[in-house]
Amino acid sequence: MTGTERWLAITAGAGVLGGVAWTAKVVTLWATGTEGGLDQLFFGVGFAALLLAATGPGVWLLRGRPVAWRVLGGVLGPPLGVLIFLVGVQGAVEPVNPALPFGLAGEVGIVLAALAGVVLGGGRLVRVVGDPVSAPSAT
């Protein structure tokens, strides 16, 4: 496993962790009916993990390029991820939010980001783990 493949596996794991943490945030918010406390902890853990996960696509897109380009792709990934989340996801689901019960209003974007983190990160992890490993030659 190369350094790039290893980093992509780490970011995939971070995506799953972030998705699970944000799912726990929404479940906690729904179960307690109040904001503050444990849901804020889950939000912080999920946000940090998803920021780390956002470095993966930039590194992957620039694989095979010099290290400086891959680093640049990794550095630009988190700000672009936040921008996509704020403008795309939150903007697209804003009209739906008022129809949701208390505790879930404003959380549709969080749920979609959590789902993306788990599905994309998990898919990448399965691919990494499932890759065949060649045995050393006997010669």
pLDDT of residue 135: 46
Task: Provide the sign of the torsion angle of the four alpha carbons 59, 61, 63, 68, taken in this order.
Answer: negative
Buried b (16+ CB within 10 A) or exposed e, 21-46: bbbbbbebbeeeeeeeeebeebbebb
Cα–Cα–Cα angle for 93, 88, 48, rounded to 5 degrees: 100
pLDDT tens for 41-83 read 999 999 999 899 989 888 888 888 888 998 898 898 888 888 8
- pTM of the predicted structure, to 2 decimals: 0.76
Instruction: List the chain domain ranges.
Output: 3-127
pLDDT confidence bin for 21, thresholds 50/70/90 = very high
Tokens representing residue 87 in the block: 């403008």
Q: Report the percentage of the chain scoring pLDDT > 70.
A: 76
